[in-house]
Chain A
Amino acid sequence: MSNLRVAVDIGGTFTDICIMDEASGKVRVAKTPSTPDDPLEGAMNGLGEAKVDLNDVSLFSHGTTVATNALITRRLPPAAMVCTRGFRDVIEIRRANKEELWDTYKDVAPPYIRRRDRLVVSERIDQAGEVVEALNEDEAREVARVLKKRGVESVAICLMNSYMNPAHEQRLREILVAEMPGADIITSSDTLPEIFEHERFSTTVVNSILSPVIGRYVQRMSEQLKEGGYASDLLLLHSGGGVMTPATAARFAGRLAGSGIAAGAIASRHIAMLCGYENSIGLDMGGTSCDVSLVYGGQSRVTKDWGIEFGHPIRFPSIEVLTIGAGGGSLAWIDDVGALHNGPQSAGADPGPACYGRGNDVPTNTDANVALGRLGTSLAGGNITLDRGAAETAVKTGVAEPLGMSMDDAAKSIVSVANANMADAVRLISISRGYDPRDFALVAFGGAGALHGVALAKELAIPTVIVPPNPGVTSALGCLLVDIRHDLAQSYLKSASEADAGDIEAKFAEMENEARERLEAEGVAAKDMLLQRAIDMMYEGQWRSLTVPVGAPFNSVEEAIEAFHRDHEREYAFRRDDAGVDLFRLNLTAIGVTQKAELQKHEKTGGTPSANTTRMVAFDELDAPVDTPIYQHEDLGAGSTFNGPAIVEQLDSTTVIPPGVRVEVDEWLNIRIYVSEDSK
């Protein structure tokens, strides 16, 4: 009987597996080391270790860093790009800017396709879509001959102004397909029919070079799952926060770049929504970095302004995640002038923090937490033992002595600086976008999120913190909580005053047809299809657009304009009713709602738990360490309530609860921490 949902999240260090029983909603988790040479091996090992019988699995979803790693390491199949004559360097010229403005020795990453593999054909289409120069088909065949001889497996066809008229790209594709059977040949007008050549070409190149990588990977995985008895489609998590089937992945492999990052943001949104918070901030803190995401009104913030490496944009919508170098392993250091810094350098997993005893003696956040007693010395159910003495020595010699402080003060300082850096990241994603953190709940997860979550919430005046039942594998859970999702867009460059609602409606209807076809092909029933429209707009003369949701059918441009004024004011604190408004792009999000099993609910039995042990813990709120009860998360029944100070430990995480805050364990076993009076 098929009654299990399984999600596999392959990360750089660990492969997390999350197994949910559909009937009970009970979630089981497993962690196994990743196998970077062949990530599938780790996944299949993990499934074996977790004793999952694939015959019992009704839905298998997967988040992967395969695409991201292929891009970063440049371990890519032989690939080429065919461009309009005169424009073969668009992806190398880029916008010509640097990320590191002042350091003349830090360079932008090279393009994904070398110059020799960027070939040209004579052709030209102008900005109105008119043919200025016809496609030279003889040259096209010559290009095909050369590419075939080079053994090229994937080709990105990138011609100027193809977003206005795709005819040349399509014809060129026909010619190449005929001459190069077996190669993946992808056009820019099919990938991203939007204005601006570098962004379109860069996205298309990523899409095409990943196509063979993902194609092979997905095929092997599907086969192995099938052999094991899994009968449905493998679902792949993409950066937009939905899943897609292998058939779609073949066309939009580029959407899997960033797959890994999205999972945590999705899980955090789901948990916050479950708890009744439509607005939430996700804090996913691991060993080397911290990912911050934001949900407002139940929707994750989505951006098209991202990429795996600076200068090489991927313009597929992606859940916006701000990553900063603050993790458990981030190093605390003092500069020449004597100022204290935290990160972004990290001790990583090896040698790791000083308390791992593997040769690093520079204090890390983990060391500071151990020295303060906030983190115990026995982790992962006793599998890892930390050396408190080594942590204290590192804090003493690295920070306390040079700054003339006590060991406790030095350790508190280290943690405070890390928290301040994270608070700045949260401010950038919230306050600077017009959101007030006081209206949000903070979901703290990842290995280290719950250690810092409450302090961060206090710093930002966020009233409530939620720590999920399994903070360390929350990302894998995210893979189980998503719908099938497609994002379609097309340029629509018009002044709002000249725009015709009927024309816009027709364009949307066209996009919806395409979306329905895609969803149907993936077996989604009509009743489970959810189509959401939005228009990118800006004030006449402005250069950046704002995405404004609109209803269906579209029958009033005026309403859309008013919605734009309103959103502009929220986001940027001003509106210009006297100024004209331009339309820039039509967007359609097509969702195939999948049935999501619910997390297991427990009856609230209430009561005040008793702690088995206590230890001395130093808190920022108190001058001296206090004897603090240590609870085990699994011992805390639904409905348990208690007050800080307390520490809650579990296999994959530790939650720090400072004095003066109230704690309740809810029916899903989330720890809810009410930091301020404003808490619900």
Chain B
Amino acid sequence: MSDNRTGTGSGLTLDPVTFEVLKNSFITTVDQMAEQVLRTCYSFVIYNRDFSSALNDANGDSIAQGNQDIAVHVGTLHYTCKDVIRAFKGEMKPGDVFMINDPYAGGTHFNDVRLIRPIFVGDEIIAYSQSNGHWSDVGGSVPGSFDVNAREMFREGIRITPIRIIDQGVLREDVANMIAANTRDPKSVIGDMRAQTEATRVAEREILRLVDKYGKDTVVTGFKEVQDYVEQATRQRIAELPDGSWETVDYIDRDPGQGEGLIPIRVKLTIKGDEATYDFTGSHGCISTLYNSAFGATFSGVVAGMKTYFPDLPLNSGFYRPINVIAPKDSIVDAPWPVAVTGFLMPFEKIMNSIYEIWSDIIPERAIACAFNLEYLLTGGRDTRHEGKPMFMFYDWLPGGWGGRATKDGCNVTTACFGTGLQTQPIEGQERLSPILANEFEILRDSAGPGRFRGGAGVVKTSTLREAEDTVLSYICDRERAIVWGIKGGLPSLPHGLWVKRAETGEKEWLGTIFSDVPIKSGDMFSRPTGGGGGLGDPLERDPAAVMLDVEDDYVSLERAKIDYGVVLKVIDIDLAQYEVDAEATKEARREIAKARRGWLAEDPVDIAARYQKGEINNMDMVRRYAVIVDWGTGELMPKSTEQFRESVKIRTADHWNDNIAEFGEAAE
């Protein structure tokens, strides 16, 4: 690179101090917006940090994004700003604020509503401030606006193409009320509109302060140069890497319109010189649920996935410039209007994890296996604890385990890669708001994908519906069949999915990961595990002392220590959580597993499914040992999904196993 920003040879014109001051001020500005939104919002989804803030330049390109922004919004805020500019160019006035939530114009989904304010100096717009937040409801056929039966957007909620919501400082109440009236919680919608509008004003105030101090031209130059700076830094980092191509495939569980079989999302990364191209050619067409992604959200998955490998670079449009994305038209990664896309989070997370996997080969010291899948439970009904039986809405999401890493285990119980700033909700708050009692919310023993470095542990949450009527349950999740995978020899974790135990019959019913409007009654209990992370490296090479530590702390059971890791422990004193590794028995157990394991993966899936049905083996044995996918309720074999899953396990896991353990009982160093 000859275009280095050193001394006067740099392409940048601001002096280093002004540049650094402006760069930091832009970031502080968006952080101030975030602080304001957090303290004044109404949507509990925003409150738990599903929001983002940006400063865009006069072209709509991003100058700065918030430090704590949710990952899933990254790489989309410039698109929505540009669409507002397209719609209102030449007609904007000081004091105007515009609104948009259009996924087909680069947004994410209808719930993510963006308020955008032009910042004027005289008659000139020099920038836009943008506040984006996830409203808890935007209408559509189910509470929370996630309808798994939607095939087109008309059931999903209100689509807001660019509108002027504040006209020279005056709220257009007619328009605001019309939008609010299309949702289940009009008061909160108006409240959030207000909170976000004020947040954009905070940014305007700060930018005008900078203009006062440094002059308009300097500040506008700063807008350009902070983007150029990030672009240069990104190009430099990419250029340092070897040229080459890497590809992988990850899956969505199914297309309900097509019977069983995993739905592939293919990614091929090519690094050439200082640019990175992500090609999704070969990915599946649009599917008949809401688990499709429009282009903006796909671009976001790429940017967020890649940013994970360059955590120190600031986020703005400069980061996007060296990145090219090729997505086939009318596909699951470039769904056109009016295909349903509210569940874009599912393809989004597949893209994120695929990119993690690819970059694990490019920068092995930052390798990471697959993370658990985001899950989102929606319950609504009438709360009979109170007079008048008011409506209640209970939306819940759980943390889970992240993938094992090159030097250490994955993170236990962490928010999904959808955005690690997102918080889980306090149970004591939920129990006040909804007639639902939590029976347990704990780390799920043995949920972590085994590996030399195991995945992080997932959780299980079980809840009971109490005094309620007319209550229905919906669930947005995935990886019931495309199980969270390990890499470099690590094992998968376990299937996602929800059980209901009916109070009337005492029967357990498997509802899986995607369903909508299932009626539940008082006394019914529902339970969902989340996956642990996938393991990294051969579990038979895990230090037995590390396995023992996990047993002491009950992350791993004594039984599975032996089954998954071949580590045999003797109990010394259960009161003191004291154990001892039986070294000889461990060697023997590891030898046995190493001899048998390739054979297990080749056993007839029909026989394995039958053993599961009889209760001889459990779901962890199924996915970790035999790589067989069934309907977890009935035990019915899914032949096509099994074939695809076995292929994934072969490439990601079995191909990396160390066979000399079969001889020595341990890996030869």
Contact = CB atoms under 8 A, between A and B. Distances in A.
B28 A335 contact: no
A633 interface: no
A460 to B, nearest CB: 11
Interface stretch (A11-19, A239-247, A572-580): A572-580
B414 A98 contact: yes
A337 B5 contact: yes
Given A427-B28, A542-B41, A93 B428 contact: no
A96 B413 contact: yes
Given A104-B368, A402-B6, A424-B24, A115 B443 contact: yes
B412 A335 contact: no
Given A337-B4, A432-B32, A432-B35, A544 B423 contact: no
Nearest to B205: A431
Interface stretch (A191-199, A226-234, A502-510): A191-199
Nearest to B230: A337
A100 interface: yes
Contacts of B17: 340, 412-413, 416-417, 420
B177 interface: no
Interface in B388-438: 399, 402, 405, 407-408, 411-415, 419-424, 426-429, 431-432, 437-438
Interface in B548-597: 552-555, 575-577
B297 to A, nearest CB: 18
Contacts of B419: 101
B415 A97 contact: yes
A428 B20 contact: no
B188 A339 contact: no
Interface in B452-485: 459, 462
A197 B432 contact: no
Contacts of A402: 6-7
Contact of B308 (A92, A104, A114, A541): A104
B337 to A, nearest CB: 31
A160 B428 contact: yes
Contacts of B324: none
Contact of A403 (B6, B229, B232): B6
B25 A424 contact: yes
Given A104-B311, A573-B201, 10 more contacts: A86-B439, A96-B413, A98-B415, A116-B552, A160-B427, A161-B431, A338-B6, A339-B19, A428-B31, A543-B47
Nearest to A195: B428
A647 B7 CA distance: 32
A97 B423 contact: yes
16 contacts: A88-B442, A89-B443, A94-B413, A95-B48, A106-B311, A124-B437, A132-B437, A196-B426, A336-B237, A404-B7, A404-B8, A424-B24, A542-B40, A543-B47, A576-B191, A579-B187
A623 interface: no
Contacts of B42: 539, 541-543
B520 to A, nearest CB: 19
A562 interface: no
Contacts of B47: 543-544
Interface string B311-334: 100000000000000000000000
A428 B28 contact: yes
Given A160-B427, A572-B36, A86 B440 contact: yes
Interface string A132-160: 10000000000001100110000000001
B442 A337 contact: no
A158 to B, nearest CB: 12
Contacts of B413: 89, 92-94, 96
B19 to A, nearest CB: 6
Given A87-B440, A89-B413, A96-B423, A341 B20 contact: yes
A153 B356 CA distance: 44
How many residues of A sit at the interface, in one of the four size bands?
35 or more
Contact of A116 (B41, B412, B577): B577
A191 B553 CA distance: 27
A38 interface: no
A636 B414 CA distance: 58
Contacts of A412: 17
Contacts of A96: 399, 413-415, 422-424
Contacts of A559: none
A102 B65 CA distance: 13
B28 A149 contact: no
A97 B20 contact: no
Nearest to B437: A126
A127 B428 contact: yes
Contact of B459 (A93, A432, A579): A93
A93 B8 CA distance: 51
Interface centre among B20, B47, B554 (most CB of A within 10 A): B20
Interface in B160-218: 187-188, 191, 194, 198, 201-202, 206
B442 to A, nearest CB: 5
Contacts of A573: 198, 201-202
B221 interface: no
Interface residues of B, number: 91
A467 B368 CA distance: 51
B460 to A, nearest CB: 9
B202 A432 contact: yes
B575 A146 contact: yes
Interface centre among A100, A163, A339, A574 (most CB of B within 10 A): A339
A107 B429 CA distance: 27
Contact of A339 (B23, B38, B422): B23
B270 interface: no
Contacts of A341: 20
Interface in A95-125: 95-98, 100-108, 114-116, 124
B21 interface: yes
Interface string B81-104: 000000000000000000000000
A543 B41 contact: yes
B431 A93 contact: no
B426 A198 contact: yes
Interface in A430-450: 431-432
Nearest to A142: B575
Contacts of B368: 104
Given A195-B428, A539-B191, A544-B38, A97 B49 contact: yes
A341 B442 CA distance: 43
B53 to A, nearest CB: 12
Contacts of B311: 100, 102-104, 106
Nearest to B365: A105
A413 B14 CA distance: 13
Interface centre among B28, B42, B428 (most CB of A within 10 A): B428
B307 A102 contact: yes
Given A103-B311, A105-B405, A87 B442 contact: yes
Interface string A280-322: 0000000000000000000000000000000000000000000
B150 interface: no
B10 interface: yes
A114 B552 CA distance: 10
Nearest to A416: B17
B414 to A, nearest CB: 6
A338 B428 contact: no
A102 B28 contact: no
Given A339-B229, A542-B191, A543-B44, A98 B36 contact: no
Given A89-B413, A102-B311, A420-B21, A574 B575 contact: no
A95 B424 CA distance: 5
Given A197-B426, A432-B202, A413 B16 contact: yes
B41 A424 contact: no
Contact of B21 (A127, A196, A417, A432): A417
B24 to A, nearest CB: 6
Nearest to B23: A339
B68 interface: yes
A565 B8 CA distance: 53
A397 to B, nearest CB: 14
B535 to A, nearest CB: 15
Nearest to B466: A126
